[in-house]
Structure 1
Amino acid sequence: MYSEQVWRFSALDTNTRWWIVIILVTLVSAWVVIFQPLTTGRGKEPFKLGLDLKGGVRVVLRAQVEKLPPDKQREWRPENMASVVDIVERRVNRLGVTESVVARQGQDRILVELPGVVNEQEALRLIQTTAQLEFWYLPSVQNERNPMARYRIEQRQEGGREINVVYDTVQQKDVDITEFLQDQKARAAEMGEQNPVVTGADLKPNCKLVYDQVGRPQVAFEFNAEGARRFGDFTRKHVGEILAIVLDNRIISAPRINEAILGGKGVIEGGFSATEAAELATLLNSGALPVPLEIIQIAKVGATLGKESVRQSLWAGVVGLGLVLLFMVGYYLLPGVLSAVALGLYTLYSLAAYKLLGVVFTVPGITAFILSIGMAVDANILIFERMKEELRSGKTLKAAIDDGFKRAFTAIFDSNVCTIITSLILFALGTGAVKGFALMLMIGVAISMFTAITVTRTMLWTLVSMGVGNNPRLFGLGRQWQTHIDIVGKKKIWFALSGAFIALGVLAWAIDGLKLGVDFAGGSELQLRFENPVTVRQVQSALAQGGFRDARVVVGENNLVFIRTKEITPEEKESIKRSLASLGNLEEQSFTQVGGIVSKEQTRKALWAIILSEVLILFYLAVRFAIGGIREGFKFGVAAVIALIHDVLVLVGAFAIMGQLRGWEVDALFVTAMLTLIGFSVHDTIVVFDRIRENLRNRTRGETFADIANKSIVQTLARSINTSLTLILVLIALLFLGSPVVKLLTIALLIGVTTGTYSSIFNAAPVVTYWEELAERRGLRGAEPRIAPAQPAEATVKRDGAPEAGVTAATGSKPRPKRRRRA
C-alpha cells in the first residue's frame, strides 16, 4: 500500500510537485516569522498592539505663540492651529506610528496618543522640532565677489561635530544668528532681493537620504515649480556669492554658488549621520511647524479596552469562521474541506505579513482581520461553482477542475484588480488609518489569490492524481440555488425599490444630516485624579449607569483618568463626577474641549481617493469588457460604478435614518466600513458581468441582450448568494458575540454586504440592459441583435485524451467538427 501511494505521488506532473514544495516552504517560513523572533529587538510579543489593547504614551503639546517674532504674533490666529495639528499628524504617520490619536485640545493645545513607541523621547523630539528650512542670501559675508565683507562663516568643533558660526571681523566676535539674519534681510531688500530666497514650503514632499561619492549622508530635495523658478533666477544672478541653508535658525551649510542651478534639485550637506539625515528628510516631507511646541503633560496610559473585549472579539471570530467552514463543507463537500485548509493557510500567511510589516492590532483591526478571512473564501466559491457546472456538462473530473479554475480566473482577476486599484489610490492619498487599511487590503487580496487559486488547485490535483476523491458526488453537484425569475424583465421594480430607499435616506440626511460622533465632531475631555487605583472597566461601568455609555476612557499612571465624550455642559460634567464618586475620592484636573481625530483634510483626501479610484475602475472595466468596442465596455464600467454609488447611498441613508431613530453615530469605524464596502462592492457585480461577457461571445442568433443578461444572473446566482452568505455568517457572530465597541461597525458592514449583493443582482446588469434597449429604440442598432466576434474555436479535450461528449466550440457561424482521437 505504501509503495502504491509513493507511485501515485510520483505520477504527479512536475508543476504540481513544484507547487507542493513552494507551499510547504512558504508555510514553514510563515510559521517561523510568527512564532520565532527574527531580530533581538522585537521582544516577546509577536505583534504590535494598539492603544485599546496595550496602551502607550499620552502627550499634550502647547503652541508657544509668545516665542514667535512680533510681526508673526500679531498675525497669529487660533484657526492656525488646524495646520499645526495636520503637520503633527503627518509626522506621526511618517514615524511609522499607526492607530495613533492626534486631536486639537482647547485653543492652543494638541493631544497626541502614541501606541507602542519604542523610543518615546526620540519620537516626541521629532514631533516638536519646527523644521523651518530656509535658503538665505548673505550679501555681507565674505566671498570671491566681496572678499572684504564684514562677516565670514567659520567652521568649529562643538560636542564632537562641526558647526557653522558667523564671525564679525569688525567687532571681532561671534554674532547672534537671529540678529544676523534680520540684518541680511534688510541688506537684501536694499538690493531688491527677497530673503529668505526660498523655504521648505517650496519643496516637494519627496526629500530622502542619499550619500555622496565618499559615503557621507546628505538630504536630497526638489523644489516645486514656483520654488524652482525663484531658485534658478536667483542663482543665475548671484554666481560666486553665498547662499546659506538655515534650519531652525542654525546654519547647516553656507555654500558658494558656482553656477546657475536650474533643475530645481539639490542636496543639503551638514555633517549629518545617516540617522540625522533620514530624520531631516522626514521632517521636511511633513512640513515645518509655524510655531514652536512645548510639552505640558506626558503620561503613560493603559489599554482603553479590557481583556474582555479582546476575548469577545476572538470568540465571535471563532464562531463566525466555524459557521463559514460548516457551510463550505456542507455545501461543497470535498472542495469545502480543502477550502478550510486554504483558509487556515491564509490566516497563517496574513499574520506573518502583518508581523513583518509592523501592523498595529486593535479591536477594530482584529475584527477587520476576522472579516477578511471570511472574504478570502470568495474566490473558492467562484471556482467550486464553476467546477460543478463543468461536471454537470458531462466533463471528466480532471477536465472540470482545469476548466473550473481557468474560467473562474477572469472574474477573480478582474474583481481583485479593482480592489487593488482602490487600495493603491487610498494608500497614495490617504493618511493614518486609511493608509493602513489600504495596505491590509492589498495584503489580503494578494494572499487570497495565492491560497484560493494555487493552494486549492494543487491540493485538488494531488488528491485526484493519487486516486483520492475521484467520485463526482463528493463535489456537491446536487446542491444548487435555483430560480426562474425574470430579473431583468422586472428591472423597473428593482430600480423603484432602490430609488425609494435612497430617496428616504437622502431626505433624512438633508433634514438632519448624519449624527457625527466624537471622532468627527470633537467633544469634551475631563481629566480626573482618583485617590485609589481604578480600571477602565470600573470607570466605563459607572459611566454607563450614569447615562454616558459612549464615553472613551483612558487610565494613566498616578491614578489619572481621561474621559472623552461628546460635547457636554458643566452640569453634565458634574453629573459624570457624581457617577464616578462610588469609585472613591476624585479630584478634577482639567476640563477642555477637544477636536475630532478625523480631520477635514483626512476626509477630503479620502473622498478624492474614492472618486479617483472609481474613475480608474470605470476605465479598467471599459477595457476589459470591450466586447464590440470600448464604447460597449464603457457601459459595463458605468453600471458597476452606479451600483457602487447605490451601495454607498444606501449605507449612508440607513445611518441617517437610524441616527434620528436610534442615535447611530458616524465615527472613524464607519469610515472603515465605507472603505471596506468600496473595496469589495464590485466583486459580485464583476462575477455577473464576467458571465455576460462569456455568454456574449457564444451568442446565438435571435438571443437579445436582455436574454443573455438574465441568463447570466441566474447562472451566477449561487456564487452571489454564497459569497455574501459566508460574510453574513461572520458578521452575525461578531454582532451578537463580539465586543460592543465594534457593534455599529458590524451593522454597517452587514448593510453594505446586503445592499452590495442586491445591487449586483438587481441593479448592475439591468442598468446595462436598459442602456442597450435605449440604444436600440433610438435606432443606434439594427433590429437584429448582433453576434459577438468569433472566438478561436477549440474543442475541449479530456486530460486522458478523449473528447468530451456533446461539447462543441462556438464560433460566429457554425460549429466546427469535433477533434478526433488519434490512433
Structure 2
Amino acid sequence: MKARGRIVAFLLLIVIFAGTISPTVAGVLNNIKLGLDLQGGFEVLYQVEPLKGKEDQKITEKVVTDTAAALDNRINALGVNEPSIQVESGNRIRVQLAGVEDQNKARELLSTEANLTFRDSDDNIMLDGNDLKQGGAKDAFNQQGQPIVTLKLKDANKFAEVTSELAAKPAPYNVLAIWLDYQDGDSYAAEILKKDPKFISAPRVSQRISSDSVEISGSFTVEETKSLAGILNAGALPVQLKEIYSTSVGAQFGSQALSSTILAGIIGVAAIFIFMLFYYRLPGLVAVISLVVYIFLILVVFDWINGVLTLPGIAAIVLGVGMAVDANILTYERIREELRVGKSVKKAFDTGAKEAFTAIFDANITTLLAAAVLFFFGTSSVKGFATLLIISILVVFITAVWASRILLGLLVNSGYFDNKPGWFGIPKKRIHPPEEEVDTLDLSTKFDRIDFVHNRKIFYTLSIVLTIAGIILLSTIHLNLGIDFSKGTRVELQSTETLTKEFVAEKIEKIGLPSEDIVLSGDKSNVAVIRYKQDFTQDEIKKLKTEMTQQFGIDPNVSSVSPTVGKELAKNAIKALLIAALGIVIYVAFRFEWRMGFASIISLVHDAFLMVSIFSILRLEVDITFIAAVLTIVGYSINDTIVTFDRIRENLHRSKKITTEEELATIVNKSLRQTLGRSVNTVLTVILVTVALLIFGAEGIRNFSIALLIGLIAGTYSSIFIAAQIWFDLKVKELRKTGGIEVKKEEKKWGSDEPVV
C-alpha cells in the first residue's frame, strides 16, 4: 500500500503540474513583452548636448532627467505601449520603442527640440512657445472636417497686437509663419518655393484677431495632429539630442525572426527529450517532466519581472534547457555508477544525488558569474540574454536539483523498480555483485583504452599548433569586426525574390547611398547585408529606409554606431571577459585549489582564442552577440572543467595518499574516463539545440549559434585534454618537492558527508 501510495503521489504531482501549466501558459506567453527584434521598432542612444548658441549650458543630472521626462511625454502622445527610456552614463538617454509603425515619424518627433515660434515674412519672431498655455494644444477638426491643432494663448491682447500689425501689411507679406525648430539660415522666402517647406503652416492675416485661440491647419493627417499636439504639450527640450547609436527592425523581419526561432527551439528541445528518454529511460522521463516545468517557470518569472523578450533571450531559454539537462545527467550518471557497483536502487539514488550536488552547485555558480558580468556590461538585447541566463540558472536548482529528485525519489522509494536496473539504462550483465565490493573508481568505461595523461604532450602540441596558427592568421587576416566594435552603418534588407550583388548595388546607387560591401545570405539569397563605414544621420536613415522600402517592398533593418560608442563597446567587451575570467578563477581556486584555478584559466583562454581564430578564418562578423557567446562558453567550459576536477578530487580522497607519479596518473586517467561520458552526453544535448538554432533559427542569431557550436566543442576538449593535464603537471611538481600528496579532511563536501581534498 505504501509503494502504491508513492506511485499515486507521483501521478498526482504530474496532474497538478499539467493542471497548472495548461490553463495558464497561454496567458503567460501573451503577457510577455517582445523586444524590437521580435516585433519591429527602433532603439536610439542620444548624447545630451547644450542647445546651439548656449555652449556654456551645463548638462546636469536634473537636465538629463527632465529631458528623459519630456521624451516620455512625447512617447505617450505617440501611443506606444511599454516604451523603455533609460538614463545612461550621466549624459545619455537610451530610448526603445517596440511595435512603432512609422519609425521615421517617431524618431523625428523624439529628437525635435520643439521650439515653437511664430514669425513674419522677414523671419522676425512675433510669438514663441512661452506665449502658450501649458497643455493648451489639442487636436481637432475644422468646419470642413479637416484635422487641425488648436493652441491656447496666455495673453489674447498680445495676439491681437500681432495680428493687427500683420493685417496692415500688403499681401503676400501679411503671413504668420509657424515654425518648429527654426534654424539659423532658414527663411520663409526660401521655403515658400519648396513643395515641402520646413515651417508647419503660414496663414495670411487680413484682420485683427482678439482671441486667445490659434488654429494650425494644413495638409495634416489625424495621426500627425495628435503627435503635434502631444509634442507641443510636452514642451520644448531643454537640450540638443545627438544620435550616437541606433538600430531599427522592420515589423516583417521581427515576426519572421520570432516564428523561425521558436520553431528552432521546439525542434532542439524535442531532440533533447528524445535523447533523455532513449538513453536514461525512467530518469529520462523524470528529466523531461522537470524540463517542461523549468521552461514554464522561466516564462512565469520573466513575466513577473516585466522583462522584454529578445531574439538572444529565446536562445538563452533554449540553452538553459541544456544546462538543466546537465544537472540531470550529472545526477543520473552517478546513480548509474552506484547501481553498477551492486548497490540497491534506493541506495544508488541516495548516494548518487548527494555526490552530484557539489559539481552541479559549483558549475552553475561559475556560469552565474559569467551571466552577471554580461548583464552589467551588456547593452540592449544582450542584457535580455543575460537576464534569462541568470533566471535559468536559478530555476535549474528548483527543477533539475529539487523537483526532479522528488519525482524520481517517489518512484525509487515505491520499491516497484527494485532489482530492475534496466529502467535506468543499465544491463544486468554490467552490474557487479555486492559481495565483490567494487569501488566506483574501478568501474570500466567506454574510454578505458584512452591514456589521457601519458599522451598529454600530443594534446599540448595540437593546441600550441592551433594557437600559433591562430596568431598568424589573426595578424594577417584580422577579425571581421561588426559596426558594434568599429563604427558605421549596417543595413539588412529582404526580398521575396533571389537577390544578386549587382542588383542590390544598382538599387542603392540610385538612392544615392552606394556601397561595395554587400553580402548575400538566406537559403534563397534573398537577404542582403550592406555596410557603410560612416555612421548615418537621422535624415540619412530616414531617406534610406523610405527609398529601400519602396524598392524592395519591405522595411529594412538599419543599425548605425558612432566611433565613440564603437570604442566603448569594444572596451566594455574586453573588460567583461577579463572580469568574468578572473571571478571564475578566484572561485575555482577557493573551492578547489590554486592549481585547478590556474589550469582553468589556461583552458578558458584556449577556448576563447580558438573561437576568435575560427571566426577570423571564416570571415564571420564579430558583433556584440559574439561576446555573449564567448561568455556563455566560458560558463559552459568551466562547468565541464569543474565536474572533471570534482571527480579528480573525490578519487584522490579515496586513495588517501599519493606517493608516485604513476598513482596520480592512474587517478587522473580514471577520473577523466568516468566524466567523459557525462561530458559527451551534456555537450551533445546542448549541440542538438545549437544546431537547431543554426539551421532553423533567425538570421540574426546565426553567428551567435556558430560561436556557441565552436565553443562547446572546444570547451569539452580543453576540460579533458588541457585543463586536467596542466593540473597533473603542476601536481607532479608538488609531488616531487614534498614526496607525497596528503588528503585534507577538515572540510566537508557540500551536499555530502564525504570530506574533500
Could you say which residue in structure 1 is the equivalent of 2:601? 641
Structure 2 vs 1, CA of residues 22 and 621 (structure 1 numbering), >3 Å: closer, same or farther?
Answer: farther
What is the CA distance between 1:616 and its match in structure 2? 2.5
1:666 to 613, 618, 622: 622
Preserved contact between residue 31 and residue 348 of structure 1 (Cα < 8 Å):
no
Could you say which residue in structure 2 is the equivalent of 1:218? none
Q: Say how many residue pairs are matched.
A: 570
Alpha-carbon deviations, 1:68-87, whole Å to 9, x = none? 435579xx9xxxxxxx9xx9
Could you say which residue in structure 1 is the equivalent of 2:696? 737
Q: Does 1:476 align with 2:425?
A: yes
Could you say which residue in structure 2 is the equivalent of 1:405? 353
Could you say which residue in structure 1 is the equivalent of 2:140? none
Kindly provide the amino acid, as one letter, of the partner of residue 596 in structure 2: F
What is the CA distance between 1:669 and its match in structure 2? 2.2
Could you say which residue in structure 2 is the equivalent of 1:621? 588
Could you say which residue in structure 1 is the equivalent of 2:367? 419
2:531 to 560, 566, 573: 566
Structure 2 vs 1, CA of residues 429 and 54 (structure 1 numbering), >3 Å: closer, same or farther?
Answer: closer
Q: Does 1:356 align with 2:304?
A: yes
Cα RMSD of the aligned pairs, angstroms, is 5.1
Q: State the SS of the aligned residue for 1:519.
A: coil
In structure 2, what is the Cα distance between the partners aligned to 1:526 and 1:791?
Answer: 61
Give 5+ residue unaligned stretches, structure 1.
38-43, 77-83, 104-108, 131-157, 161-288, 528-534, 554-561, 626-632, 798-807, 813-823
What is the CA distance between 1:769 and its match in structure 2? 0.7
Could you say which residue in structure 2 is the equivalent of 1:753? 712
Question: Matches of residues 605-620 of structure 1 in structure 2 within 5 Å?
Answer: 605-620=572-587
Question: Matches of residues 69-88 of structure 1 in structure 2 within 5 Å?
Answer: 69=54
What is the CA distance between 1:429 and its match in structure 2? 4.4
In structure 2, what is the Cα distance between the partners aligned to 1:356 and 1:290?
Answer: 36
In structure 2, what is the Cα distance between the partners aligned to 1:727 and 1:514?
Answer: 27
Could you say which residue in structure 2 is the equivalent of 1:365? 313
Could you say which residue in structure 1 is the equivalent of 2:31? 46
Q: State the SS of the aligned residue for 1:652.
A: helix
Preserved contact between residue 604 and residue 638 of structure 2 (Cα < 8 Å):
yes
Preserved contact between residue 306 and residue 536 of structure 1 (Cα < 8 Å):
no
What is the CA distance between 1:477 and its match in structure 2? 1.7
Question: Matches of residues 141-180 of structure 1 in structure 2 within 5 Å?
Answer: none
Give 5+ residue unaligned stretches, structure 2.
76-80, 115-132, 136-236, 431-444, 506-516
Preserved contact between residue 603 and residue 722 of structure 2 (Cα < 8 Å):
yes
Q: State the SS of the aligned residue for 2:621.
A: coil
Could you say which residue in structure 2 is the equivalent of 1:657? 617
What is the CA distance between 1:585 and its match in structure 2? 10
What is the CA distance between 1:524 and its match in structure 2? 3.8
What is the CA distance between 1:787 and its match in structure 2? 3.5
What is the CA distance between 1:399 and its match in structure 2? 0.6
Could you say which residue in structure 2 is the equivalent of 1:233? none
What is the CA distance between 1:550 and its match in structure 2? 4.9
Q: State the SS of the aligned residue for 2:97.
A: strand
In structure 1, what is the Cα distance between the partners aligned to 2:559 and 2:652?
Answer: 64
- Residues 410-419 or 703-712, more deviating: 703-712
Kindly provide the amino acid, as one letter, of the partner of residue 690 in structure 1: D
What is the CA distance between 1:362 and its match in structure 2? 3.0
Preserved contact between residue 377 and residue 452 of structure 1 (Cα < 8 Å):
yes
Could you say which residue in structure 2 is the equivalent of 1:490? 455
Preserved contact between residue 499 and residue 520 of structure 2 (Cα < 8 Å):
no
In structure 2, what is the Cα distance between the partners aligned to 1:743 and 1:69?
Answer: 47
Alpha-carbon deviations, 1:26-75, whole Å to 9, x = none? 876666764347xxxxxx933211222212357797977653435579xx
Q: Does 1:765 align with 2:724?
A: yes
In structure 2, what is the Cα distance between the partners aligned to 1:115 and 1:26?
Answer: 34
Kindly provide the amino acid, as one letter, of the partner of residue 600 in structure 1: K
Kindly provide the amino acid, as one letter, of the partner of residue 733 in structure 2: L
Structure 2 vs 1, CA of residues 443 and 117 (structure 1 numbering), >3 Å: closer, same or farther?
Answer: farther
What is the CA distance between 1:791 and its match in structure 2? 7.6
Structure 2 vs 1, CA of residues 685 and 117 (structure 1 numbering), >3 Å: closer, same or farther?
Answer: farther
Kindly provide the amino acid, as one letter, of the partner of residue 50 in structure 1: G
Could you say which residue in structure 2 is the equivalent of 1:115? 98
Q: State the SS of the aligned residue for 2:447.
A: coil
Preserved contact between residue 567 and residue 593 of structure 1 (Cα < 8 Å):
no
In structure 2, what is the Cα distance between the partners aligned to 1:34 and 1:520?
Answer: 39
Structure 2 vs 1, CA of residues 59 and 751 (structure 1 numbering), >3 Å: closer, same or farther?
Answer: closer
Kindly provide the amino acid, as one letter, of the partner of residue 98 in structure 2: P
Question: Matches of residues 549-560 of structure 1 in structure 2 within 5 Å?
Answer: 550=519
In structure 2, what is the Cα distance between the partners aligned to 1:565 and 1:100?
Answer: 29
Preserved contact between residue 518 and residue 528 of structure 2 (Cα < 8 Å):
no
Preserved contact between residue 51 and residue 238 of structure 2 (Cα < 8 Å):
no
Could you say which residue in structure 1 is the equivalent of 2:161? none
Preserved contact between residue 99 and residue 433 of structure 1 (Cα < 8 Å):
no
Alpha-carbon deviations, 1:243-301, whole Å to 9, x = none? xxxxxxxxxxxxxxxxxxxxxxxxxxxxxxxxxxxxxxxxxxxxxx99522899x9997
In structure 1, what is the Cα distance between the partners aligned to 2:464 and 2:580?
Answer: 24
Q: Does 1:602 align with 2:569?
A: yes
In structure 2, what is the Cα distance between the partners aligned to 1:26 and 1:9?
Answer: 20
Kindly provide the amino acid, as one letter, of the partner of residue 296 in structure 2: L
Could you say which residue in structure 2 is the equivalent of 1:432? 380
Kindly provide the amino acid, as one letter, of the partner of residue 708 in structure 1: I
Could you say which residue in structure 1 is the equivalent of 2:337? 389
In structure 2, what is the Cα distance between the partners aligned to 1:71 and 1:736?
Answer: 55
Alpha-carbon deviations, 1:204-237, whole Å to 9, x = none? xxxxxxxxxxxxxxxxxxxxxxxxxxxxxxxxxx
Q: State the SS of the aligned residue for 2:608.
A: helix
Could you say which residue in structure 2 is the equivalent of 1:56? 41
What is the CA distance between 1:427 and its match in structure 2? 3.1
TM-score (norm 2): 0.64
In structure 2, what is the Cα distance between the partners aligned to 1:113 and 1:500?
Answer: 46
Structure 2 vs 1, CA of residues 54 and 541 (structure 1 numbering), >3 Å: closer, same or farther?
Answer: farther
Alpha-carbon deviations, 1:396-435, whole Å to 9, x = none? 1001001111001010011111122223333344443443
Q: Does 1:35 align with 2:26?
A: yes
Q: State the SS of the aligned residue for 1:114.
A: strand
Preserved contact between residue 573 and residue 627 of structure 2 (Cα < 8 Å):
no
Kindly provide the amino acid, as one letter, of the partner of residue 8 in structure 1: A
Structure 2 vs 1, CA of residues 301 and 639 (structure 1 numbering), >3 Å: closer, same or farther?
Answer: closer
1:781 to 706, 714, 738: 738
Preserved contact between residue 52 and residue 362 of structure 1 (Cα < 8 Å):
yes
TM-score (norm 1): 0.59
Could you say which residue in structure 1 is the equivalent of 2:187? none
Alpha-carbon deviations, 1:592-635, whole Å to 9, x = none? 9753796432332343233223222222222221xxxxxxx111
In structure 1, what is the Cα distance between the partners aligned to 2:325 and 2:312?
Answer: 21
Q: Percent identity?
A: 35
What is the CA distance between 1:336 and its match in structure 2? 1.2
In structure 1, what is the Cα distance between the partners aligned to 2:40 and 2:733?
Answer: 60
Alpha-carbon deviations, 1:335-358, whole Å to 9, x = none? 112111111111111111222223
